[in-house]
Amino acid sequence: MSYTDAVSRDARRVVSIQALLTVAMALAFGLYGGVPWAAAALYGGIVTMGLTAWLAWRMRRVASLTAIYSGAVARYALAAAAIGVGVGLLRLAAVPLLCAFAVTQFGFLVLLRRP
């Protein structure tokens, strides 16, 4: 298996775990705070999944360590901007958005459990 295949497989696993976590968080916040909180949780999870997909795409295209680190800086900036748009511009509830964003980041822990 090539490096590109391994990155793609691992990215699919992480994004699928993040999707499950996003749905679980949206359901939990939806039961507690209704549709507005569920929408905020969905937005937070979708931001995480988008950033994970972008990271996987970047890993396949870039070979140098400098480019990977600069991509990490851009990823953090994009995450801050997306959260700012969600809370400030879209007026989504901050608590479920940030909680879902944080919890779905733990989807990366699935990579620690190799079959």
What was the pLDDT predicted at 57? 82
Q: Quick one: how far is CA 41 from the chain centroid?
A: 12
pLDDT tier at 69, thresholds 50, 70, 90: confident
What's the rounded Cα separation, in Å, for the pair 40 and 102?
13
DSSP 90-115: S---HHHHHHHHHHHHGGGGGGGS--
- Taking alpha carbons only, the member of 67, 69, 97 closest to residue 82 is 97
List the single range of 29-38, 44-53, 106-115 with lowest mean pLDDT.
106-115
- Taking alpha carbons only, the member of 47, 49, 43 closest to residue 17 is 49
pTM of model > 0.75: yes
